[in-house]
Every structure is written in structure tokens, then in C-alpha cells.
């Protein structure tokens, strides 16, 4: 089966950003719990909260991921700034009815000394044949 031509890398990126914004709206202003009282003990719990339900939401459009979103959880790297800010990058391939339509790099911004994320995770979309830096010659 051929993928839907309207399902571009940018379409997927935008759909994921909308999901992140909807999840952010569920957070208490402190960023440490949801408005309905769910508490987070570390930044990883909060990141998991942001991606919860995303695969199910996109599956309705025939979109799946080669691995659980945000990617194979094969940590490409973690950059650590002197001020305590950290960023991790995760890669995944997006499929439409089993055919690759995009490669995504998800940037997870966090700090190890506090639960709230300094900024929303960011997704950058590439064509499906884009090689992740660790696989480039």
C-alpha cells in the first residue's frame, strides 16, 4: 500500500506539536503535576506524560512509528550546558500504513535538579531517507 501523499514530515511534526501543547495545557502552572493531581517525581516522568497517547492519536490516521515514540530510545547524545540545562536527542521513523514517510528527531530539554521541563520537547522532521547522524558515513 502506498502512503497518503498528504502525510508529509511537516504534517507529522505539526500533529506531534499539537499533542505536546494539549498535554502542556493539562499541567498545573508549577509543571510538577497535572491539573487533576497526577504528580511527577523527575523530568523523565514528565516527558513520558507528554508522549502518552500520541501513538494512539496518530494511529487513527494510519500513522505508526518504527519503535515507540519518541524513537528507539537509543540515546544519540545528551548535551549538558554549564548552567544545568540538558538536551537529549532521540530518532524514530514514521510510517503510514507500513511505508516510511518521515524521520524524526525529538529534542528533550530537561534538568536533573528539577522536575519541570525548561521547554517543550521539540520535533524536527526530515524526509524518510534522511540518515541519523550516528549512521551517516
The gap between the terminal CA atoms of the chain, to the nearest Å, is 31
Q: Are 111 and 84 in contact (CB under 8 A)?
A: yes
In terms of Cα–Cα distance, which of 137, 136, 120, 129 is closest to 94? Answer: 129
pLDDT score recorded for residue 76: 61
Q: Does residue 32 contact residue 128 with C-beta atoms inside 8 Å?
A: no
Where do the structural domains in the chain lie, given as residue ranges?
A: 9-30+38-127
Query: Model confidence at 75, in pLDDT bands (50, 70, 90)?
Result: low
Backbone angles phi, psi at 41, to 5 degrees: -100, -20
pLDDT tens by residue, 29-62: 999 999 999 999 988 888 889 989 999 999 988 8
pTM comes to 0.84
Model pLDDT for residues 88-109, shown as the tens digit of each residue: 888 888 999 889 999 988 899 9
Amino acid at each position: 500500500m502506498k502512503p497518503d501523499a498528504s502525510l508529509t514530515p511537516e504534517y507529522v511534526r505539526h500533529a506531534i506539536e499539537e499533542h505536546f501543547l494539549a498535554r502542556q495545557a493539562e499541567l498545573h502552572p508549577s509543571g510538577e503535576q497535572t491539573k487533576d493531581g497526577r504528580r511527577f517525581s523527575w523530568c523523565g516522568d514528565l516527558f513520558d506524560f507528554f508522549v502518552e497517547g500520541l501513538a494512539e492519536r496518530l494511529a487513527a490516521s494510519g500513522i505508526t512509528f518504527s519503535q515507540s515514540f519518541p524513537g528507539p530510545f537509543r540515546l544519540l547524545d545528551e548535551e549538558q550546558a554549564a548552567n544545568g540545562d540538558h538536551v537529549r536527542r532521540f530518532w524514530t521513523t514514521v510510517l503510514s500504513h507500513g511505508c516510511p514517510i518521515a524521520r524524526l528527531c525529538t529534542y528533550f530539554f530537561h534538568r536533573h535538579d528539577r522536575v519541570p521541563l525548561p521547554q517543550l520537547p521539540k520535533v524536527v522532521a526530515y524526509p524518510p531517507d534522511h540518515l541519523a547522524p550516528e549512521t551517516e558515513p
